[in-house]
Amino acid sequence: MEKRVVITGLGVISPIGLGKENYWNALLNGTNGIGPITHFDATEYSARIAGEVKDFNPADYGIDRKEARHMDPSTQYSVAASKLALDDSHMNLDDEDRDRIGTVIGTGIGGMETLHNLYKNLFAKGPSRVNPFVVPKMIANMASGQVSIFFGLQGHCASVVTACATGTNSIGAAYRMVQRGELDAVFAGGTEAAVSPGAVAGFAAMKALSTRNDDPEHASRPFDKDRDGFVMGEGAGIVIVEELEHAKKRGAHIYCEIGGYGSNADAYHITAPAPEGIQQSKCMKLAIDDAGMKPEQVDYINAHGTSTHLNDLNESKAVARVFGEHAKKVLISSTKSMTGHLLGAAGAVEAIACAMTIETGNVHPTINFVEPDDELKDLDLNYVPNKAVKADVNVAISNSFGFGGHNATLLFKKYVG
């Protein structure tokens, strides 16, 4: 018999705030988190703006100086967000069977800062001067591994890597394991700290990034006709995914229930989505069907909404295909309009936005939305422009679509005892 699965803890490190409350209030207020890159000298780069995490101190999350030196920033973010999620859940790990608590935390790119420093030292000083911790700092699984070590979580421990769908697939994988009764709870989500020379140069070379360098406040503008590419962001989102009866037994606060999960592939192109959003629409339908629901029961969509032409167009067409006339009634917004694109962490921080939407009855806006381009006008979708709205959201879905054709959708619903 399948178990019911709920979310009981939320932890977020983001360009618009550290912690659930700061993050959520910033979203509702339409706060812009984009600014000039400060992590390195980007003077010669065509794209010189990003959504950087501000005022982050590992010690604030129990990571001492020695431990921090052995962690890439992406791993530091994952540990910090996990600490916030654990505190928010009020779970006492000393009372738990740690063999039944797992860790599924992914990253799209991994330890880019560590990799950059590796090659800088290697080419300047030779192989004998390479840091002996460079490999365990850099490898993609270490975000999950370090969280497992840090909190003594001895159940299933893995790292999902599906580009920009990573966070959503990670939570989906955790959902399945708890649903099958394999685990009582999972720390699940994604992390990213890729605002570094190589990653920025690489995305810029693809012409994927916004070059609105003189106006960073308005650079990330999903679905707007004047968008010119996405803006890189960084941070981490972790949710505590928990079996319902286990959560009830310990008196946990339940934000929402995970009702469905869908995942498929475009099988089309290494970066571009399949035309007309056909596979994306199938992915949304998989999640809705998995929940035993109908499209017209969905109240809100947290869109992938990257601020790129192909993504915004194909996702909008996919929504129209799945929801038909109901598509015009569904509220749709893009968290990335404020945070930038957190790559492997995007789906996780957006899942947190969905949980808070259901919890509070507020839908955050898509900022910088002035006018849709001509291809989107005919669809007549409500992208919740520029100002948050009150709404009784019983069912929300979150979309994530990654390079390589990875598609993932989670469906969240209001918990009813």
- Give the residue numbers marked as catalytic: 164, 304, 341
Q: Count other C-beta atoms under 10 Å from residue 95's C-beta.
A: 7
Place of tokens 């000298």: 41
Bridge partners, 409 (sequence order): 262, 399
Bridge partners, 262 (sequence order): 409
Tell which residue, 401, 378, 386, has the closest CA to residue 305: 401
Bridge partners, 104 (sequence order): 158, 188
DSSP, res 96: S
Tell which residue, 297, 271, 272, has the closest CA to residue 284: 297
Tell which residue, 197, 180, 212, 191, has the closest CA to residue 42: 197
Six token digits for residue 74: 């992406």
CB 144 within 8 A of CB 86: no
Burial of 297 (0-12, 13-18, 19+ CB in 10 A): middle
Q: For strand 235-243 and strand 185-192, is the pairing parallel, antiparallel, or unpaired? A: antiparallel
Place of tokens 């999640």: 287
Q: Give the H or E element holding residue 201.
A: helix 197-205
CB 22 within 8 A of CB 84: no
Q: For strand 185-192 and strand 101-106, is the pairing parallel, antiparallel, or unpaired? A: parallel
